[in-house]
Homo-oligomer: A and B are copies of this chain.
């Protein structure tokens, strides 16, 4: 992406996330991506915990991850996120890079819809919360 990202989070690999091949197990990147989205929401003033209490549950509809270069024991990453809205769907473009430096680790995309008390919504509450990122 040439556009700027909306949010960045630096994390270090936790060694238990590394499997017998010596690299971070593939499922953990979904954990990194989810944690990045939730920290982004918190920064935007709308934490996952508060949403859940208010009956608003963002739900993942689709995730795609391209694994480019693996992370290993003790390495650091920067996890970056760009948000777009497509109707009722929120698309999080989520790329992770080695840190420091810019070597790509994964390129990902997570598509989220928003339930309110268990029913699919148009996402307007979430969109209002993220207004400054969605122009």
Contacts and interface: CB of A to CB of B under 8 A. Distances in A.
Contacts of A52: 20-21, 73
A15 B35 contact: yes
B27 A34 contact: yes
A62 interface: yes
A62 B72 CA distance: 18
A122 interface: no
Interface stretch (A42-50, A83-91, A95-103, A123-131): A42-50
A31 B14 contact: yes
A4 interface: no
25 contacts: A14-B35, A14-B38, A15-B35, A15-B48, A15-B49, A16-B19, A16-B25, A20-B22, A20-B52, A21-B52, A21-B57, A21-B59, A26-B34, A26-B60, A27-B31, A30-B30, A38-B74, A48-B74, A59-B67, A62-B64, A62-B65, A63-B63, A63-B64, A63-B67, A64-B65
A16 B67 CA distance: 17
B57 A61 contact: no
> Ordered nearest first, which 3 A-B pairs have the shortest CB separation?
A49-B73, A27-B30, A27-B27
Contacts of A57: 21
A3 interface: no
Nearest to A70: B59
